[in-house]
Amino acid sequence: MDNTTDFSTEKTVNAAPASAGGTETSVDLTFEPSCIGELRSTLTISSPVGGDYIFPIFATCTPPKPQGPYVIKSGGTTYITFRNNFPNATTAFTFTVDNPAFHLSKSGDNIRGKKDHRIVIGFDGADSGTRAPVMGKLIISCARSAGGTTPAQWIYYLKGITVDGKETKDK
């Protein structure tokens, strides 16, 4: 791979010997973008017998799409696994929720590059006494731009459900 750490593949791929008509072999290529926009690279596959094969790689990364809803029962917690896709950089991220019925174990953390991080979210229950679901958002942001002019931001929808002694089905 050339030009970017956003693409990765195995260093060595074993292939069956070629037959008279050729032999098809596949190579798994992973795209883990660290910026918004178009990325280009090349993949070179070399064989002492077959020579070099050079493949242009083009990929586009769009801004993160909201995810969820993550369902949390009253008095309970859940976690969301978040990945810092910025390569080789520990980055400061902030975590906020937009509804006070939800709470976080931490308001932010420094996450190493290309590493996963668990964010714990709790739901206290509805204050209104109703059993209607309570909606909210977890917003993860960082000052570092993801290739654009605004800070990077990820949104996770939350759905708190009130349970009082017996199971409530999520509708």
| Same domain for 93 and 142 | yes
Identify whether 86 is part of a domain. yes
Task: Please indicate, yes or no, whether residues 38 and 88 belong to a single structural domain of this protein.
Answer: no
Q: What is the pLDDT of residue 2?
A: 52
Cα of 71 vs its chain's centroid, Å: 19
Give domain status of residue 125, yes or no.
yes
- Measured CA to CA, the distance from residue 117 to residue 75 in angstroms comes to 23
The chain-wide mean pLDDT, for the chain, equals 84
For the chain, the domain total comes to 2
pLDDT of residue 4: 65
| Boundaries of domain holding 75 | 67-161
Identity of the highest mean pLDDT range in 14-23, 118-127, 153-162: 153-162
In a domain, 2, yes or no: no
d(CA 121, CA 138): 9
**Is residue 168 assigned to a domain?**
no
Structure confidence by residue, pLDDT tens digits, 22-65? 778 888 888 888 788 888 899 988 888 778 889 999 999 888 89
Residue 128 pLDDT level (bands cut at 50, 70, 90): low
Assess whether 80 and 35 both reside in one domain.
Answer: no
- Residue 129 is assigned to a structural domain of this protein: yes
The CATH number of residue 92's host domain is 2.60.40.10
Provide the pLDDT for residue 169.
Answer: 45
Cα–Cα dist 125/146, whole Å: 35
Is 127 a member of any domain? yes
pLDDT, one tens digit per residue, over 95-125 is 999 999 999 999 999 999 889 999 999 998 8
